[in-house]
A and B are shown apart, each in its own frame.
Chain A
Amino acid sequence: MTASQIIFYILSAFILGMGILSVTSRKIFRSAIWLLFSLIGISGLYFWMEVEFIAAVQIVVYVGGIVVLIIFSIFLTQQSGKEMQKAPMMRMIAGALAVVFGFAFTYMLIDRYGFKPKSVVFDNSVARIGNAMLNTEQGGFSLPFEVVSILLLAAMIGCIVIAASPSPSKGGDKEAPSKSPPKEET
């Protein structure tokens, strides 16, 4: 075994172990922290595959953005020291059976497919990605880029409208979106 293989297996065990802890931990805050470690492991896997740009985006967006957002929402909605109630035994057994059989069948298909990797060097420099992203000709991705930018704008406005604090008069949930002051604050 070369060093590269050893690193890959350590990273995989780290990702899967942290993922399992994240979905089984009974304390919600610990669960979020295990998720954080799992995402860091995945970005390590991207570094191992030498796709540095995706690894950097993974760290910036997931670890720096989404996990922090989740932790803030835990602080806003939960008593984080309290244990969550345990799932019913029947549901845990049924879920575990479904997952184990689904995994077995899927992996059997993958194992028998026989992928044949090409030995061409994969050029994924940031310059090439940027050129392809703003290219309007064949093989360019400028249309999905624009669509995603509109989607982000819509999601941002939607978040502000949904989570804006309701007006002082009770039961005014429906009027809340038409009020402008919460939007101007951000």
Chain B
Amino acid sequence: MIPISHILFVSTALFFIGMYGLFTRRNMITMLMSIELMLNSVNINFVTFNKYLYPEKLDGIFFTIFIITIAAAEAAVAIAIIINLYRSHKSIDVEDATEMKY
């Protein structure tokens, strides 16, 4: 039997790995990939809590299903925006898209 804190170690580490990617990358697609990693770590948390702490309920499973759905929608919209930005700027670096900054 694995203690819960070991599973939470994996999800916490994965969350902070995604955060490191979000801090250091400046390419929009790689930033989106980091966000996907963070969402996945949250999903692991929900499933773990549901299975080990509240096994008579299903709330964590449903949160996971809805998060996966929303992540898919979010990735699709983000990639549509990125492709549109590439058409107008010829670059998907966040440093190059600063028209609305000031």
Complex partner residue of B37 from A23, A94, A121, CB under 8 angstroms: A23
A163-B84 contact given A5-B2, A31-B30, A92-B24, CB 8 Å threshold: yes
**B94 in contact (CB, < 8 A):** no
Chain B contributes a number of interface residues (CB within 8 A of A) equal to 68
Contact flag A62-B76 (CB < 8 Å), given A28-B30, A76-B83: no
- B79, A69: Cβ atoms closer than 8 Å: yes
**A185 proximal to B (CB < 8 A):** no
Minimum Cβ distance to chain B for residue A184 (Å): 18
Contacts known (A8-B2, A46-B47, A96-B20); A19 close to B68, Cβ less than 8 A:
no
Contact indicator A122/B70 (Cβ below 8 Å) = no
CA distance A20 to B58 in the complex (A): 32
Assuming the A-B contacts A103-B13, A121-B55, are A148 and B84 also in contact, with contact meaning beta carbons closer than 8 angstroms in the complex? no
B contact set with A: CB distance below 8 Å: 2-10, 12-14, 16-21, 23-27, 29-30, 32-34, 36-37, 40, 43-44, 47-48, 50-56, 58, 61-62, 64-66, 68-77, 79-84, 86-88, 92
Q: Which residues of A contact B (CB under 8 A)?
A: 4-5, 8, 12, 15-16, 19-20, 22-24, 28, 31-32, 35, 38-39, 42, 45-46, 49-51, 53-54, 57-58, 61-62, 65-66, 69-70, 73-74, 76-78, 84, 87, 91-92, 94-96, 98-100, 102-103, 106-107, 110-111, 113, 115-118, 120-124, 128-129, 132-133, 141, 144, 148, 151-152, 155-156, 158-159, 162-163, 166, 173
